[in-house]
Amino acid sequence: MGKSDLPLNGQTALVTGASSGIGRRFAAILAAVGAKVVVAARRTDRLAALVAEIEGEGGMAAAVELDVADPDSIAAAIDAAERAFGRITILINNAGVADVADATDIGLAAIDHMTTVNLRGPFLLAREVARRLIADGAPGRIVNVSSIVAYTYDGHVPVAYYAMTKAAIVRMTEVLAVEWAKYFINVNAIAPGFVVTEMNQEVVEEKGVALASRRARGRLTQPANLDSTLLYLVSPDSGYVTGSCIRLDDGQMPR
């Protein structure tokens, strides 16, 4: 296909938590299919390298600093994104944090931080993007990143509060989809299982074979394995899909 024929040609996507892991992959794949991509995170040095990589592949990208825990930073990042590429039509709410601790031990600071980053931040981002789309009478796509632990939890890794925030993201997706349906803003979510990223690379190197052997399909999920679901949810093909959360765990967890 020529560049003008790419599926997301003319769209502007904002990807949060884009400095590493799933967010970095999502930004690259959106740019590869024609979107102008604004990559956002606190670690701007990493964003510069991602922008250079996307541009080297013929895509369009810009970096903005964003701390999703800071409401002023959210507004400033969206303003900067619009100055770079115009109205945001796709939001990928990917930024998040986890704290491993038993529910009886986790500190209040960690609880507040996860609430702020994993729930309040994505809500404020979605709201601000939606406000601007509604004001312009334009449709849009919002994809929130939840987790399989929103649905199933065995307690082997103690992340109860993280699981609670990710379950809240699923409900946020559902209620915002209903409120914004009349504006043709589709709000959906994905719930990945364990995905190999640089954050867990050390664990994978040490225990990857054992981890894979416990999976029904004997394999681990890579960020690229999420590409097709992401692209479906931001494409015209999913026009009638809103308020849904797609589980992407390769059958890792029980139902």
Query: CA Rg, the chain, in Å?
Result: 18
Where in the chain are the domains? 3-247
Residue 7 has a CB neighbour count (10 Å cut-off) of 15
Angle at 11 between CA 5 and CA 12, to 5 degrees: 140
Residue 142 DSSP SS3: strand
The pLDDT of residue 3: 58
Residue-wise pLDDT for 54-74, tens only, equals 999 999 999 999 999 999 999
The pLDDT of residue 163: 96
Please state, in angstroms and rounded to a whole number, the distance separating the CA atoms of residues 29 and 230: 9
Residue-wise pLDDT for 186-213, tens only, equals 999 999 988 888 767 777 777 778 878 7
Residue-wise pLDDT for 138-152, tens only, equals 999 999 999 999 999
Phi, psi of 46 (to 5 degrees): -70, -35
Reply yes or no on whether the pLDDT at 2 is more than 80: no
| 227-234 and 21-32 helices, crossing angle to 10° | 60
217: confidence class by pLDDT, cuts 50, 70, 90? confident
Residue-wise pLDDT for 160-184, tens only, equals 999 999 999 999 999 999 999 999 9
The pLDDT of residue 4: 56
Q: For residues 247 and 240, is the Cβ–Cβ distance under 8 A?
A: no
Q: Tokens 């052997």: give the residue.
A: 213
CATH topology for 3-247 is Rossmann fold (3.40.50)
Please state, in angstroms and rounded to a whole number, the distance separating the CA atoms of residues 244 and 173: 7
Residue-wise pLDDT for 83-105, tens only, equals 999 999 999 999 999 988 999 99
Query: Quick one: what percent of the chain has pLDDT higher than 90?
Result: 78
Among 9-23, 109-123, 203-217, the minimum mean pLDDT is found in 203-217
Catalytic residue among 151, 153, 161, 162: 162
**Strands laid side by side in the 90-93 sheet:** 60-65, 36-41, 12-16, 90-93, 140-145, 185-192, 245-248
**Catalytic: 162?**
yes
Average pLDDT rounded to a whole number, residues 227-231: 97
Q: CA nearest 122: which of 161, 88, 94?
A: 94
The pLDDT of residue 152: 93
Residues ≥6 apart with Cβ < 8 Å to 184: 139, 140
11: confidence class by pLDDT, cuts 50, 70, 90? very high
Instruction: Give the 3-state secondary structure percentages of the chain, helix then strand then coil, rounded to 5.
Output: 50, 15, 35
> Whole-prediction pTM value?
0.94
